[in-house]
Amino acid sequence: MKLWFHTAALASSLLLSSLAIAASDGLPVAPYQARYEVYASGFSIGEAVITLAAAGPGAYQMTSEVRPNGLVALLASGRIREQVSGEIRAGAIQPRQYERQLDTGKKSDHMQLQFDWSAGQVQARHNAEQATLPLAPGMVDPLSLQLVVMADLQRGRMPSQYHLVDRNEIKTYQIRNRGQETLDTPLGKLNTILINQYTPGKTRMTTFWVAPDLQYLPVRIMQEKKGKEDLRMEIRAVQR
């Protein structure tokens, strides 16, 4: 149960797609749906489905859903769902409303973020707790972070850190390049670049294997704690 609940962190992490410009809707990424198999301790425990859609000129919607399978579904019978809507203004990704709902049957967790760019603040709600946080340029939610990082990779730049709002606090993630590796995937053999995402002083680290030939689509995502694999996601299919 506890292990399944922790898939939320991985499901809400950096899941990228191509940066082919969608001139008709102004998005920096062509709409897509990506499917990933989720593993824990070497066993498949569920599927993650990530979808990006246009919501009008310069507007986007993203959803992420993790569903348990097999024995895990019998034990945890729950899902993890995220959704965000936002706009692209002067090339900058600006989320408006974000929501994450985790329900494992016995335990639930709910988070909402309201971004007010004109007032420069975020209204954050995590279960019964609420907070008003300062909003700075470039700050996003966990799901919109995907678009920000993807755009930077396509432009040939990778800042050393990113800022986002998660629960009732502002978090900073450090980014570093760990080299290259060739992987065999359901999409074929792919050359990938390894990217670490971590918080200084924390024992948890997420590594992404992104494929330049697929416009930096991640084909593997692994979360480690104290140097040991905790969770892993493997690409299964992509539809654009």
Cα–Cα dist 157/175, whole Å: 12
- Which amino acid type is present at position 187? L
Helix (H, G, I), strand (E, B) or coil at 158: coil
Q: Residue 37 in contact with residue 47, Cβ under 8 Å? A: yes
**CA angle 6-9-13, nearest 5°?**
150
Token pair belonging to 162: 């990113």
pTM of the model: 0.83
Helix (H, G, I), strand (E, B) or coil at 169: strand
- Mean pLDDT by runs of 10 across the 240 residues of the chain is 44 39 59 89 88 90 88 60 94 94 81 97 96 96 86 84 93 92 95 90 90 83 89 91
Range of 179's domain?
Answer: 2-239
Q: Which of 240, 232, 239, 238 is nearest to 13 (CA)?
A: 232
The total of other beta-carbon atoms located within 10 Å of residue 41's CB is: 11
Per-residue pLDDT tens for 43-87?
888 899 999 889 988 899 999 998 888 655 545 556 789 999 999
Cα–Cα dist 208/183, whole Å: 12
**Cα separations (Å) of 182 from 192, 210, 213?**
6, 10, 12
Cα–Cα dist 165/169, whole Å: 6
Cα–Cα dist 159/176, whole Å: 9
Q: Residue 208 in contact with residue 197, Cβ under 8 Å? A: yes
The pLDDT value recorded for residue 76 is 54
Given 3-state DSSP classes, what are the helix, strand and coil percentages for the chain, each rounded to the nearest 5?
Answer: 10, 60, 30
Q: Which of 71, 151, 143 is nearest to 113 (CA)?
A: 143
Say which DSSP state 214 is in: G
The pLDDT value recorded for residue 199 is 87
- Burial category of 83 from C-beta neighbours within 10 Å (exposed 0-12, middle 13-18, buried 19 and up): middle
The total of other beta-carbon atoms located within 10 Å of residue 164's CB is: 22
Cα–Cα dist 22/197, whole Å: 28
The pLDDT value recorded for residue 14 is 40
Counted domains in the chain:
1
